[in-house]
Amino acid sequence: MNSEGPLEKDAFPALPLLVAWAVICAILLATGAQNLLARSFLDPDDAMRLVQVRDLIGGQGWFDLTQYRLDPPAGTPMHWSRLVDLPILLVIMALTPLFGQAGAEMAAFLIIPFATLGLAFAIIGRLAWRLLGARPAIFAVAVCGLMPPLLFQFLPTRIDHHGWQVVSVAAALFAINWRGAWGGQLAGVAMAFGLSISLEIMPMAAAFAGVLYLRWARQAEPFWLIGYMQAFAAALIVFYLGTRGLATTSYCDAVSPAHLAFFAVAAVGTTLIGRMAPLRWTTLTLCFAIAGAVAAASYAAISPACLATPFAKLDPMVDRYWYRLILEGQPLWKQAVSLAVPAIIQLVAAVGATAALWRGASGKAKFWWFDHLLILLAAIALSLMVTRSLAFAAIIAAVPLGWLASRLLDTIREEGPTSRRVGALAILVLLLAPSSLFTAAEKILPDSDAEQSRAAAINAEDSCNIYDSVSQLGRLPRGTIFAPMDIGPAILLNTGHGVVATSHHRAADAMGDVIRGFMGKPAKAHALVAKHGADYVVLCAGVAESRLYARAAPDGLAATLLNGDPPAWLEKVEHGGPEELRVYRVRTQAATKSIATPLMQ
């Protein structure tokens, strides 16, 4: 560890890192060009984020996070942060005079993910350069381009919050490499930023705190953790006031007054412990246990209902047919082999490389690599439980993998036995690009029945082209649409209609009604549709959610509509879009049979 410059005295490789970023962005652009041109989002959350920003541009208050067209007329308060809305808003407002709003939005679909990726690369490249030198720094950034779980968060149209959280983890990792209290303070601000965006980063914030506690107990350096906790608490309050104002409503799924109290008490406790005489590690641990208990008590006193997880009290139907089916939020062992195995290979290699760096280091550097190893292991543990967190583990793994790639390349170039050089090349390919091997195998090996079924499902979903198709609904008189949750954001984005529910859990009651409505028999479904004052029922035969409901309830409304046999209280609407998109108007007085009507009748 050195605060004066790189351990290797070569110049910072700014140009090569810039070229690496540009090449990776070009690859991402080529990969995502079709979705970009079609304005089709990879994740409904990205579409919902744009809806939120459009409402802000349209005059909705900065502190008003209600989505009024979601479960109207009251609407649904969203749990997202304005911190993510702000850069999207600035890009769109800056470019609208030049390109119009549609063009400015298209530009934001590129600028936001690519700029965020560039920031993450700059941080990781700088860290790797300081620790290892120029060439490992270049490889560290290049390795990022070979990690699909990381790159997915930065594809064109990925404007939601996950990329910013990756940046916050990278910034905290960089900060704790520096000497002096400000390193801990910067790490605290970075984690407060990430936590203000989403609580899912809480385990990583705890991991950084744990490592800094070890520096206190192991190296008698209390300033790291004191600075971290003080800055964390202060920044969290600033971010809260800047995005929520003086709101006192407590929510379990976003930073609320209870969280502010918890971290404020924890910061005060850490500061007081730091003012005591040097303590033995057992006494120090006991003091922190007491401080943690007091902080937890303050949290429980303000928001006792939030002692359980935000999803602990979900409606059983919502839990079964929505929450348990969000693959990115499920454990890694529930994922496809083609995703899980390459990720595991790379992360195991990163652990081995970090351990080798730790064993070969001395002095402060040895402590640093041990800390890096602990943070990497924490991120891997989190990834095993929540697959989406692979992006955190990947950005942490990039530094040791960059070093490993550099060493393997040296072996390949060295004079020596051909078998040794070929072996190093094979290891390099296996460790840095395992996904490519799985892709090649999939192309060579015959498709299984499961793979053929999956391909057919994808083609069916593509044929619906939901983001383009639902724009046809904008020609209908404005109303509320009872639709599967996954197509709700597309409806909100491309029409002026409201929807009963989307895949956002604060509208859990409405989500349960949508699930029960599509799985219930038509008479029961009619009551649920009427309960929400819905004017239309819409579903797409190609969307997985529609097929899920039909399979689970063969006599339910979804199955009935997919079979082309709507109940009498629904009137078919001809919309001119793909046949897979089924649109029905709710009759005010049920007729005896379904009658097709032209769209503009």
Residues 429-441: tens digit of each pLDDT: 888 778 777 766 6
Read off the pLDDT band of 596 (50, 70, 90).
very low
Decide if pLDDT at 590 tops 50.
no
Instruction: Answer whether 410's CB lies under 8 Å from 353's CB.
Output: no
Average pLDDT over residues 113-127: 98
Is 465 found in the same domain as 333?
no
Q: Is the pLDDT of residue 7 over 70?
A: no
425, part of any domain: no
Structure tokens at 581: 């998109």
* CB within 8 Å of 242: residues ≥ 6 apart: 82
* pLDDT at residue number 241: 97
**Considering the domain boundaries, does residue 554 fall inside one?**
yes
**Taking all residues of the chain, what is their mean pLDDT, rounded to a whole number?**
89
Measured between alpha carbons, how far is 31 from 468 in angstroms, rounded to an integer?
Answer: 20
Q: Is the pLDDT of residue 598 over 70?
A: no
Q: Which residues contact 599 (CB under 8 A, 6 or more apart)?
A: 472, 475, 476, 573, 574, 575, 576
| Long-range contacts of the stretch 181-186 (C-beta < 8 A, 24+) | 181/223, 181/224, 181/226, 181/227, 182/227, 183/224, 183/227, 184/212, 184/223, 184/224, 184/225, 184/226, 184/227, 184/228, 184/231, 185/227, 185/228, 185/230, 185/231, 186/231
**Rounded mean pLDDT, 183-189:** 97
Question: 277 and 146, same structural domain?
Answer: yes
- What span, in angstroms and rounded, lies between the C-alpha atoms of 77 and 531? 20
Q: What is the mean predicted confidence (pLDDT) over 289-300?
A: 96
Q: How confident is the model at residue 577 (pLDDT cuts 50, 70, 90)?
A: confident
Higher pLDDT, 510 or 427: 510
Q: What's the confidence (pLDDT) of residue 301?
A: 94
Cα distance between residue 136 and residue 500, in whole Å: 52
Say whether pLDDT at 444 is over 80. Answer: no
Q: Are residues 478 and 399 in the same domain?
A: no
Q: The tokens 């090569």 sit on which residue? A: 16
Residue 593 — very low, low, confident or very high, per pLDDT cuts 50/70/90? very low
Backbone angles phi, psi at 224, to 5 degrees: -60, -55
Give domain status of residue 89, yes or no: yes
Q: Report if residue 517 sits inside a domain.
A: yes
CB distance 528 to 520 below 8 Å: yes
In terms of pLDDT, which residue wins out, 528 or 220? 528
- Which of 133-147, 250-264, 426-440, 571-585 shows the lowest per-residue confidence on average (mean pLDDT)? 426-440
Sequence letter at residue 338: S
CB-based burial of residue 179 (10 Å sphere; 0-12 exposed, 13-18 middle, 19+ buried)? middle
What is the pTM assigned to this prediction? 0.91
pLDDT for 306: 86
**Segment among 285-299, 306-320, 359-373, 409-423 with least mean pLDDT:** 409-423
Mean per-residue pLDDT, 262-279: 93
Contact by Cβ (8 Å): 202, 246: no
Whether residues 375 and 518 share a domain: the answer is no
Indicate whether 107 pLDDT > 70. Answer: yes
Let me know whether 479 and 552 are in one domain.
yes
In a domain, 424, yes or no: no
- The whole domain housing 208 covers 14-40+79-404
For 540, phi and psi rounded to 5 degrees?
A: -120, 130
Whole-number Cα distances in Å, 357 to 169, 367, 404, 474? 21, 11, 10, 59
Non-local (6+) Cβ contacts of 386 within 8 A are: 200, 328, 329, 330, 331
The C-alpha atoms of residue 486 and residue 497 are separated, in whole angstroms, by 15
- Could you tell me if 378 and 290 lie in one domain? yes
HSE (side-chain half, CA atoms, 13 Å) at 88: 28
C-alpha gyration radius of the chain: 26
* 340, two tokens: 């899980």
pLDDT digits (tens, 9 = 90+) for 347-360: 999 999 999 999 99
SS3 state at 498: strand
pLDDT band at 529 (very low <50, low <70, confident <90, very high): very high
Residue 57 lies in a domain: no
Q: Which two tokens stand for residue 559?
A: 């199955």
Q: Look-up: residue for tokens 């749990």?
A: 79
Query: Strand, helix or coil at 538?
Result: strand
CA distance 457 to 284: 57
Q: Are residues 163 and 289 in the same domain?
A: yes
Query: Count of CB atoms within 10 A of residue 163's CB?
Result: 25
User: Of 333, 321, 328, nearest to 558 (Cα)?
Assistant: 321
How many residues can be counted in the chain?
601
Residue 231 lies in a domain: yes
Residue 3 — pLDDT band, cuts 50, 70, 90? very low
Residue 64 lies in a domain: no
Task: For 332-380, write each residue's pLDDT tens digit.
Answer: 999 988 889 999 999 999 999 999 999 999 888 899 999 999 999 999 9
DSSP tag of 70: B
Say yes or no: 326 and 472 in one domain: no
What would the two tokens of residue 351 be? 């652990």
Helical packing angle, 364-385 and 162-175, nearest 10°: 160
Helix axes 434-444, 337-360, angle to 10 degrees: 150
- Say if CB 254 and CB 306 are below 8 A apart: no
Distance (Å, whole) CA 466 – CA 463: 8
- Residue 483 half-sphere exposure, CB side, CA atoms within 13 Å? 32
Pair (218, 312) in one structural domain: yes
CATH at residue 532: 3.40.50
Please state, in angstroms and rounded to a whole number, the distance separating the CA atoms of residues 467 and 270: 51
Tell me: the pLDDT tens digits for 380-402? 999 999 999 999 999 999 999 99
What is the average per-residue pLDDT within 274-284?
87
Residue 594 has pLDDT above 70, yes or no: no
Overall number of domains in the chain: 2
Q: Check whether residue 496 and residue 377 sit in a common domain.
A: no
pLDDT at 49: 96
**E strands within 125-206?**
none
User: Are 366 and 475 members of one domain?
Assistant: no
Token pair listed for 8: 């290797």
The two tokens of residue 18 are 């810039």
Peptide bond into 73 cis (omega under 30): yes
- Give the mean pLDDT of 129-155: 95
Share of the chain above pLDDT 70, in %: 91
336/476 same-domain check: no
Residue 459 has pLDDT above 80, yes or no: no
**Does the pLDDT of residue 572 top 80, yes or no?**
yes
**Cα–Cα distance measured from residue 311 to residue 319, given in angstroms and rounded to the nearest whole number:** 8
> How does pLDDT run across 219-233, given as a tens digit for each residue?
888 999 999 999 999
User: In this structure, are strands 498-499 and 480-482 parallel, antiparallel, or unpaired?
Assistant: parallel
pLDDT of residue 481: 97
Query: pLDDT at position 58, please?
Result: 95
Instruction: Please give the full DSSP string across 387-433, using - where no structure is assigned.
Output: GGGHHHHHHHHHHHHHHHHHHHHHHHHSSS-HHHHHHHHHHHHHHH-
Please give the residue that has the higher pLDDT: either 543 or 26. 26
Residue 571, beta-bridge partner list: 585
